[in-house]
Amino acid sequence: MKIKKYLRTAALILIIILGLLFWYRHYFVFGKGVKAGDLNFIVKKGYVFKTWEGRIIQTGFKSNAPGSLQSNEFNFSITNDSIAEILERASGKTIEVRYKEYLHPLPWRGMSNYIVYEVLSVEDTQKAMY
């Protein structure tokens, strides 16, 4: 009887620890921030879970290896359809968005660790031609 009670308690503690670990890896907000740049694209894609994915091209360059240049890109996912609709109409414009950073992505949340949850501004970068 004592062994069964011990095993039940140990199993319950293990389930709680695994649940907390899953929450920490996938639902704990690691950081929040703001990014700005030109919206390159936004697309809804996926085999089972259709998620919104996008990319912002930021000004400047970053280099992962000495002597090389790479554009500074910010890949993100969107969980809110109304935010995605705003960004669909802003393709090619300069945008500023607020995002949350998670440690790992979830299939139904998107392919990126960065989730955009608010659009702060949308500005047209093209000047009118006269």
**Structural domains of the chain, ranges and CATH numbers in brackets:** 29-123 (2.40.50.140)
Pairing verdict, β 114-123 and 70-78: parallel
Cβ 37 vs Cβ 94: under 8 Å = yes
Beta-bridge partners for 16: none
Q: How much is the pLDDT for 81?
A: 92
Q: How much is the pLDDT for 77?
A: 96
Cα(1)–Cα(54) distance, integer angstroms: 57
Closest among 105, 44, 47, 56 to 80, alpha carbons compared: 44
The arithmetic mean of pLDDT across residues 55-60, rounded, is 86
Give the distance between the most distant pair of CA atoms in the chain: 89
Return the structure tokens found at 13: 């503690």
pLDDT at 97 over 50: yes
pTM value? Answer: 0.77
